[in-house]
Chains A and B, each alone.
Chain A
Amino acid sequence: MFLFLGNYSKESYTLAEKYMATIELQQVEKKFGELHAVKPMDLTINDGEFVVLLGPSGCGKTTTLRMISGLETVTSGTILLGDRNVTWLHPSERDVAFVFQFYALYPHISARENISFPLRAQRESKEVIDQRVKEVAALLRIEHLLNQRPGNLSGGDQQRVALARALVRRPEAFLMDEPLGALDADFRESMRAEIKQLHIDQHATTVYVTHDQIEAMAMGDRIVVMSEAEIQQAGSPIDIYFDPANLFVAKFIGSPGMNLVSADYTQGVVSIPGTENRYPIPDGWRSPIDESVGGEGKIVLGFRPESAQLMAEGPLSGEVYASELQGAYSVLHVNVNTDDIVHIRTDRKIDYPIGTIVHFDINPQMVRFFNPETEAGIKKEVSQ
């Protein structure tokens, strides 16, 4: 599907010209009957920013995007586009462009006519249309395809034409709903880079919805992780990856996600129940942990697969459950007790048979702790 939403400003400006578009959601809420699709949410998307709404299906990300576009009404709250209150404006009055997963181009007309369609609808002059189509086609490197019909194009090229059609009218903001979802893995990879390149060149405010955490990490200036109709964490890809706010984010981001092991905590030492595994906590963690779970209690030990290193004298150990070659590296799955399998990224030449006992340590800079009751990440003391 593809929609044009916009009031078709007659002014013609150049492609390089910047759009000023902040998007602000103030306590925006959506209910379907008694069910919350989106709980009251505050979010500001800055002018020129690429923000990714990330989460599993049913988390409210698409509903949020549809409320920004006006395709969905809000139950309560306010949406500002620039300094305009657009909460109750019709989609066509908001001047945003929507790109969907399925690039429903008109099959019976050429790529050129598909791209110029919104300009013809707003009755631009032939010169302006030709000029803009030329610019946008050059940007997306589809000049050689302009006379072809969509049916003759590959999936990637069809999505490029769809993007060109969205770009050509220079809306204030782009809203993209899983635009790469329908493409093959390899196209997705190259389109991901192309859309990011496009954003670097154009700096149009973009809200991008996906369930794919790799896409989110690769593209976003900022990622808004959603689950259960609310924001779990909003931050740069680096913040989200290294300092997840809670267990959900820790697990959802990364492939495999962060290792999360249920453990006991007593006076500076973490131990895994039913095993000999003892892990003394690194500097800077003692007082925040004591504060969160008390001097003694349950805790969740978290570490990313690449932050664990196999070593004969490592304080932690387990039994090899499976090992996977992933191309450039391998992942070793290690059973640290009956319930928890941890994933350790290793050199690809390393191969351990199932059942081998391995020892490992965790990079002290990369270890994280969570409170199992609140599921919140515990924050390390800021070092002097």
Chain B
Amino acid sequence: MSYLELQNVTKEFPGVIALNDVTFDVQDGEFFVLLGPTGAGKTTTLRIVAGLIKQNEGSVLFDDHPVDDFPPAERDVALVFQQYSLYPTMSVYDNLAFPLRSPMRKLPEDQIRTKVEGTAKTLRIEHLMDRKTANLSGGEMQRVSIGRAIVRDTRIFLMDEPLSNLDFKLREALRVELQHLQKTQGSTTLFVTHDQIEALTMADRIAVLNRGRIIQIGTPEDIYDRPATTFVAQLVGSPRINLVKSQREDGSLLIENSDLHLPMPPDCEVPQEVLLGIRPEDVDIVPEGEFSGQVALTEPLGVETVVHIRSQDQTLVSLMPGLMDFRTGDEIKFNILHDRLHCFDLDGKRVQIK
């Protein structure tokens, strides 16, 4: 049982407020992701939880007990960093066994062997046991780092962008491994990343952080389908959400600089001027579509095609499955899926369309 809670945590560095009144909790067995751009305060949060730095205000609780006065070693957390910190001259086996041989634990060697071998099997690194870590590839090294963190039965895993230094294909593969591991072991995990795909694909819940403040906490579906602000809406999803200024005009919304009138439900309460968010997959190019435009550009990605559609001076990006054989300048028809529209006021806050 391990449960983590941050209560009103604030951290100031000279001249900057790195964290401003941050409150969230990570449930037992949950994969919790802190997502945000560089400088959002993600790593600071993680380091406070680990006890590597101390907050100015607020409290960190493990299983309902404050740990604010505990040094890192007594917090019983396992850290995995972006830079793998392995002992280069030791074998993979000895690197994995290292935390178990520490004076605090001093397990008998036969128990260590059982644990190390079990961990190596889970991470598919059994064949590397006798190799020196200096001779491993980046992906293998990061697997060993993760192995060293999971080999002891830690209460909480803290991971700071562990996949960022790997190339794309490895990142993809390790993402799946990490998720499988966490789900099958049920370990409580706090994972920090700036990569929206990592957050969406692995998290049970995501906290979006910007400039030291939490903007939204929710499941990946919440964050993607009901972003609380334009910042969140633009942070997740690729290609990025279309965000266009729109005006109410008798019962419809007119997208600025275009001739696109979106019908609105009669009793809805949206302001006169709004920012309309339209996900690219909700712009559906079909022969009998209700809107028309010209193709400005197509980007064939194989599995899908990104089509940039122009209406007067406005451009909307559409994401269509498969191949779309259009040329620049082609006239096309399309629908905008009304029930999937996102509405924000001019300050960027979500407005519920009733």
B172 within 8 A of A: yes
B323 within 8 A of A: yes
| Given A185-B196, A324-B176, 19 additional A-B pairs, CB 8 A | A57-B167, A197-B296, A200-B297, A211-B168, A212-B168, A217-B301, A241-B302, A251-B169, A255-B172, A255-B303, A306-B303, A324-B175, A324-B201, A324-B202, A325-B220, A325-B221, A327-B281, A333-B180, A345-B303
A252-B169 contact given A218-B300, A306-B321, CB 8 Å threshold: yes
A327-B297 contact given A193-B308, A242-B302, A304-B303, CB 8 Å threshold: no
Report A213 CB to chain B, min CB distance, Å: 8
Most chain B CB within 10 A, of A257, A306, A322, A333, is at A322
Across the interface, A196 reaches (CB within 8 A) one of B169, B224, B236, B299, namely B299
Contact A326 B172 (CB under 8 A): no
Query: What B residues does A185 contact at CB under 8 A?
Result: 195-196, 238
Contact B180 A354 (CB under 8 A): yes
Give chain B's interface residues, CB within 8 Å of chain A: 37, 167-169, 172, 175-176, 179-180, 183-184, 195-197, 200-202, 220-221, 224, 234, 236-240, 279-281, 296-297, 299-303, 306, 308, 319, 321-323, 328
Across the interface, A200 reaches (CB within 8 A) one of B200, B236, B301, B328, namely B328
A308 within 8 A of B: no
Contact B297 A257 (CB under 8 A): no
Contact B183 A322 (CB under 8 A): yes
Report B7 CB to chain A, min CB distance, Å: 30
- Which chain A residues in 195-227 approach chain B with CB under 8 Å? 196-197, 200, 211-212, 214, 217-219
Task: Give 12 pairs: A residue, B residue, CB < 8 Å, sorted on A.
Answer: A189-B239, A192-B299, A196-B299, A214-B301, A257-B169, A304-B303, A321-B180, A325-B201, A326-B201, A328-B280, A333-B180, A354-B184
Report B21 CB to chain A, min CB distance, Å: 27
Report A270 CB to chain B, min CB distance, Å: 23
A305 within 8 A of B: yes
Contact B302 A325 (CB under 8 A): no
Residue ID in chain B nearest A353 by CB atoms: B183
- Which chain A residues in 49-85 approach chain B with CB under 8 Å? 56-57
Complex Cα–Cα for A253 and B175 (A): 18
The 7 closest A-B pairs by CB, nearest first: A241-B302, A218-B299, A324-B201, A328-B281, A322-B180, A322-B179, A322-B176
Most chain A CB within 10 A, of B281, B299, B308, B328, is at B299
- Which chain A residues in 295-331 approach chain B with CB under 8 Å? 304-306, 321-322, 324-328, 331
Query: What B residues does A253 contact at CB under 8 A?
Result: 302
Residue ID in chain A nearest B282 by CB atoms: A328
Complex Cα–Cα for A291 and B70 (A): 69
Report A60 CB to chain B, min CB distance, Å: 16
A326-B200 contact given A193-B308, A238-B323, A306-B321, CB 8 Å threshold: yes
Complex Cα–Cα for A57 and B300 (A): 24
Contact A189 B238 (CB under 8 A): yes
Report A122 CB to chain B, min CB distance, Å: 33
Contact A218 B301 (CB under 8 A): yes
Query: What B residues does A256 contact at CB under 8 A?
Result: 172
Query: What B residues does A324 contact at CB under 8 A?
Result: 175-176, 179, 200-202
Residue ID in chain A nearest B279 by CB atoms: A328
Query: What B residues does A56 contact at CB under 8 A?
Result: 167
A193-B169 contact given A186-B240, A305-B303, CB 8 Å threshold: no
Query: What A residues does B179 contact at CB under 8 A?
Result: 322, 324
A175 within 8 A of B: no
A: interface residue count bin = 35 or more
Complex Cα–Cα for A333 and B237 (A): 21
Query: What B residues does A193 contact at CB under 8 A?
Result: 297, 299, 306, 308
A341 within 8 A of B: yes
Contact B299 A217 (CB under 8 A): yes
Query: What A residues does B172 contact at CB under 8 A?
Result: 255-256
Residue ID in chain A nearest B178 by CB atoms: A322
Complex Cα–Cα for A192 and B279 (A): 19
A118 within 8 A of B: no
Complex Cα–Cα for A252 and B196 (A): 22
Q: Mark A282-304, 1 if CB is under 8 A from B, else 0.
A: 00000000000000000000001
Contact A218 B306 (CB under 8 A): yes
Contact A327 B237 (CB under 8 A): yes
A219-B237 contact given A212-B168, A257-B169, A322-B179, CB 8 Å threshold: no
A150 within 8 A of B: no
Q: Mark A76-117, 1 if CB is under 8 A from B, else 0.
A: 000000000000000000000000000000000000000000
A189-B303 contact given A324-B179, A327-B200, CB 8 Å threshold: no
Contact A325 B297 (CB under 8 A): no
Contact B303 A327 (CB under 8 A): no
Residue ID in chain B nearest A354 by CB atoms: B183
Contact A219 B299 (CB under 8 A): yes
Residue ID in chain B nearest A329 by CB atoms: B281
Complex Cα–Cα for A242 and B301 (A): 11
A217-B300 contact given A193-B308, A354-B180, CB 8 Å threshold: yes
A321-B176 contact given A305-B303, A326-B201, CB 8 Å threshold: yes
A48 within 8 A of B: no
A254 within 8 A of B: yes
Complex Cα–Cα for A5 and B167 (A): 32
Complex Cα–Cα for A333 and B238 (A): 21
Q: Mark A129-161, 1 if CB is under 8 A from B, else 0.
A: 000000000000000000000000000000000
Report B18 CB to chain A, min CB distance, Å: 21
